[in-house]
Amino acid sequence: MREYRSLIKTHLDKFKSMGRFDYLKLIPIYNNQKEMVGYLRPVTKDYRTSMPECAGLVAKWHNEHPEIFGHPMTVTEQTTQEWLDTSIIERDDRILFIIVAIDGAKIGHIGLSSFRYDQRCCEVDSVLRGEQSGHKRMMGFALNSLIDWGIKYLKLEDIELKVTSDNKQAIDFYRINHFYILKAHKPHEHETSPKSYTVMKLHMHRWKKENIS
Ligand SMILES: CC(C)(COP(=O)(O)OP(=O)(O)OC[C@H]1O[C@@H](n2cnc3c(N)ncnc32)[C@H](O)[C@@H]1OP(=O)(O)O)[C@@H](O)C(=O)NCCC(=O)NCCS
């Protein structure tokens, strides 16, 4: 397990450019015809200089979609920088990518988090379409690229995610993209922010059959 944990840290650190001379690495996004339609651009440690618009854009998207927090919340560029620094860059088990279309448009973000190293499992995290118009199906294609990278390079054997149970649009989106409902969590009364969420799991066998030839 320690070996696998270290494999994950090594990969995520490289993609986050934690080393001073690490190259920027992009994950290509393909459509169903295997044409490249964009790429996943990791939020790197140097995002303030290499992608100065990043925190402002993410803050704008988050303010337009308060549902992702599960409770009302307003963020600023400053608080988003703090979130990116402490909750993404500094965490060994978390990575966030900006979804960039081939024409350069930044569409949204998607990431991985919460590794269960002993099970070679992690969660798809922070899935958000920030730009609503155009680039149809880009979110699904981006999710596929992330899964492909996770299986090939992070050697994942299981992929799960959590979604609030009333988020029908997201649940439908994950269903179309080969996730099934594993269990629904009902909050206990003593929980401070009682919100029901649903755990979904990737149908790995079906996904591989459709996506790896
Ligand atoms: C969940 C979310 C990312 C889905 O994004 P999306 O834009 O619907 O996803 P895509 O870019 O893949 O586009 C989906 C479209 O392609 C269609 N589509 C997807 N797969 C398809 C397929 N195999 N065949 C035909 N059509 C398909 C869908 O029906 C949908 O069409 P519509 O826009 O006319 O409804 C987005 O709704 C979102 O950001 N929601 C707010 C944040 C959120 O709730 N995130 C989830 C947290 S767990």
pTM: 0.94
Instruction: Provide the 10 A C-beta neighbour count for residue 55.
Output: 23
CB-defined site of ligand 1, < 6 Å: 65, 67-68, 127-129, 136-140, 163, 167, 169-170, 173, 176
Q: Which atom of ligand 1 is nearest to the CA of 176?
A: 20
Between the CA of 173 and the centroid of ligand 1 the distance, in Å, is 5
Region for 29 from its dihedrals, namely left if φ exceeds 0, alpha if ψ lies in -120 to 50, beta otherwise: beta
Q: Which residue has the tokens 């030839």?
A: 213
Relative to the CA of 130, which ligand 1 atom is closest?
Answer: 39
Task: Give me the domains of the chain, ranges plus CATH numbers.
Answer: 2-159 (3.40.630.30)
CA 124 to ligand 1: nearest atom? 48
Smallest CA-to-CA distance from 181 within 167, 211, 195, 161 is with 161
Distance in Å, CA 135 to ligand 1 centroid: 11
Sorted by sequence, the CB contacts under 8 Å of residue 174 that are 6+ apart come out as 161, 163, 200
CA distances from 24 to 46, 131, 166 (A): 10, 24, 38
Distance 93 CA to ligand 1 centre (A): 26
Reading the chain (213 residues) residue by residue, the pLDDT tens digits are 789 999 999 999 999 999 988 999 999 999 999 999 999 999 999 999 999 999 999 999 999 998 777 777 899 999 999 999 999 999 999 999 999 999 999 999 999 999 999 999 999 999 999 999 889 999 999 999 999 999 999 999 999 999 999 999 999 999 999 999 999 877 666 666 567 899 999 999 999 999 875
Ligand 1 centre to CA of 46 (Å) is: 30
Q: Atom 33 of ligand 1 has which residue's CA nearest to it?
A: 136
Give the integer Cα–Cα distance in Å for 54 and 71. 23
DSSP character string of 35-83: -EEEEEEE--TTHHHHSTTHHHHHHHHHHH-GGGGTS-----HHHHHHH
Q: Which residues contact 12 (CB under 8 A, 6 or more apart)?
A: 92, 93, 94, 95
CA distances from 128 to 2, 100, 132 (A): 32, 13, 10
Q: Which atom of ligand 1 is nearest to the CA of 164?
A: 48
